[in-house]
Structure 1
């Protein structure tokens, strides 16, 4: 007879195999089955989210990694390392509805690409793609978080799930759930077949698009086996989503639970436009050229007039500035001519007095030209250069020839003058039904 510890271990292993792997990935911040929770913001409309750029503000949150966007392939969900599982989760809920997702699944053992609907009471509807199975898609559902591995279905996909985009569509009413691949119905679940509707998904859902490693070594053994084996993190794995059409079969601002039954009858709809509706239909920010084109003709004329006035003032200011500059230039030219004339007259006077200005020595002091005499600036030597005797009987004439070999100092030293920038494929009309 097995020991009690062996029995407990066997039961734990069985539970890890039977419990839904996806159910283990989901959670709820507030479960209306157990407590009173805030209302869920509604979508209340239909919209195609094209993921060639970031979704409209306030419509999706990004968690557990980075989602990048490409004009050609759409949103890229990439696992580069252990611990990453990039996911887009809608901020809105739909109550009855339809989603069409154009998706190309990621390859890689243990890698799971997924499209998930989930509610606050953990009702759930899934599409899952195992990276180690390139030919099949899996569908699944859960009611109120109840794990039942028998709910899963596996469906062949023409052309495979990893080499091209396919349209994975789900429709949902109070009576039935349907799954389609490229417009072809591949599975139907009637509400009465889900434990007489008790486990039939029937509460407001949000949409999640994401990729995760079911084969992570830290996952339970049953999850790793379900995912196809352990994940090798030596290379990246990418799931692509080109677009997601989401239609809410109900209209209103928000959905709330009136009791703890988790039934669709308990859901109350608050009328009005939802936040998601307003974000989606908000007019995009206009460029400057678009804002200009939107101005009334009278306003444009006023702008033209103001611009003309400013332009006229600038022209006047430029003319005044030019006039002042010319006048200043004339003054400077007159002063320069005056200085030149003074220097000419001075030189002329030196010659008349019989003196050679080039024979005078400059010692750095100022020359008082107006006095007509040499000051400390120009000193006359006491004796001819080159002699050691005292002054001769007759005064030395600096204008006469200097005795060789001495040279008379120049008036200025030459060294002082050195120059210093899609439609949904295989789509189909909305399904009839409501909650």
Structure 2
């Protein structure tokens, strides 16, 4: 007789629009029960994926979020907002086999950490962890997508599921399906106990590792109750997976369905050559430049050295030519500047020898604007009051004419050349300003 709590859970699941929450996660692009589908790529080997780094290209797809990888903790699957449920799904299938996953479950009410096998006909094998339950893990299975809440089992975990990593292993043959917790057998399913083999998982499986919010407010009421309550997205929740060992008991390159029965007898195994997954796993990693250089033969290295030396010589010659050219150009400019300065110096010395006073050529007052030479009335040379030449008062007529050359030309009508350079003025001969 089922317990009262078990009856309550069953009623809640049956009353929801989705009978079992894990079924709602899974889908198939082509169901061989209904139509002819493309073959499934086989693993055809055994391999341990260590998630301290991104798995080999072509082996897993990431969906519904981002998976981060670290050396100490492995793969981190984090729910940090509504709608995020990061999951790794294998690109390969195994047909009867074994998986061993080292996992630390995520906390958080309604948050579900999971290890799931699933096939194209929706056969399924599960490990599940409820964030609100720190002490137990839950096992389950489905055949051909048929929901049956009686398939679930719960198992106490020594030390709890969230405090540390534990080993969750499943082995699967056509004779039996077994679940192991930290190396200890905790459950066995025989085909005859699964609706007389009809619901026994028996078709090629792919592996999924992921986290999702069964307690999301948009989930059906029964799913939220099964998950343990409504999820609060105020803080992030993370599941960690250090490694996943996968073994395919078959050795073909791909698996296909010969009919629509969904039985293991209908599976055809293609042989010959290595599977795509095998090739991806064993693909030689991209080599660094130093590794590629070390592998080159000595003759090739000598050629590279010689070529590099030739290129270096050409570059050096080009730089030297450019340097000399710039140096000559600078020397020419410096010589031209020195010649101009020497010419100006000689002109100034000649001017001084002729009795000229260089200081008398500077205006110490306001700039002279060059008005009419005889217009003193109202200002000097028609200038405004602020434009009076040196030696005059603002707006007042100067006492005598301004003679910057000291030639004695005075008076309002006197002309005022600053410098003269004509045959009649021998004292200024040869001088230039």
Distance 1:150 1:18 in 2: 16
**Partner residue, 2:61:** 61
**Partner residue, 1:152:** 152
**Partner residue, 1:291:** 292
2:199 is paired with a residue whose SS is coil
CA contact (8 A) 1:347 1:357 kept: no
After TM superposition, the structure 1 = structure 2 runs for residues 364-375 of structure 1, keeping only pairs within 5 Å, are none
Distance 1:278 1:384 in 2: 110
Count of residues in correspondence between the two structures: 374
Distance 1:325 1:229 in 2: 80
Distance 1:399 1:361, change over 3 A: farther
**Partner residue, 2:171:** 171
CA contact (8 A) 2:12 2:225 kept: no
After TM superposition, the structure 1 = structure 2 runs for residues 87-126 of structure 1, keeping only pairs within 5 Å, are 87-126=87-126
**Partner residue, 1:308:** 309
What TM-score do you get using the length of structure 1 for normalisation? 0.77
**Partner residue, 2:232:** 232
By how many angstroms is 1:129 displaced? Answer: 1.0
Distance 1:301 1:72 in 2: 44
Distance 1:84 1:323 in 2: 66
1:38 is paired with a residue whose SS is coil
Distance 1:207 1:386, change over 3 A: farther
Distance 1:266 1:75, change over 3 A: same
By how many angstroms is 1:383 displaced? Answer: 6.8
2:21 is paired with a residue whose SS is coil
**Partner residue, 2:183:** 183
Distance 2:198 2:190 in 1: 12
1:22 is paired with a residue whose SS is helix
Unaligned runs of 5+ in 1: 1-9, 364-379, 401-409, 413-435
- Residue 140 of structure 1 pairs with residue 140 of structure 2: yes
CA contact (8 A) 2:18 2:220 kept: no
Distance 1:361 1:83 in 2: 85
By how many angstroms is 1:347 displaced? Answer: 5.1
By how many angstroms is 1:64 displaced? Answer: 2.1
**Partner residue, 1:388:** 412
2:203 is paired with a residue whose SS is coil
Superposed CA RMSD: 3.2
| TM-superposition CA deviations, 1:361-412 (whole Å, max 9, x none) | 999xxxxxxxxxxxxxxxx979746532548xxx997969xxxxxxxxx987
1:85 is paired with a residue whose SS is coil
Distance 1:261 1:80 in 2: 42
Distance 1:50 1:384, change over 3 A: farther
1:232 is paired with a residue whose SS is coil
Higher relative contact order by CA 8 Å / sep ≥ 6: 1 or 2? 1
CA contact (8 A) 2:12 2:222 kept: no
Distance 1:273 1:67, change over 3 A: same
User: Which stretch of structure 1 is more off in the superposition, 78-87 or 314-323?
Assistant: 314-323
- Residue 276 of structure 1 pairs with residue 277 of structure 2: yes
What TM-score do you get using the length of structure 2 for normalisation? 0.77
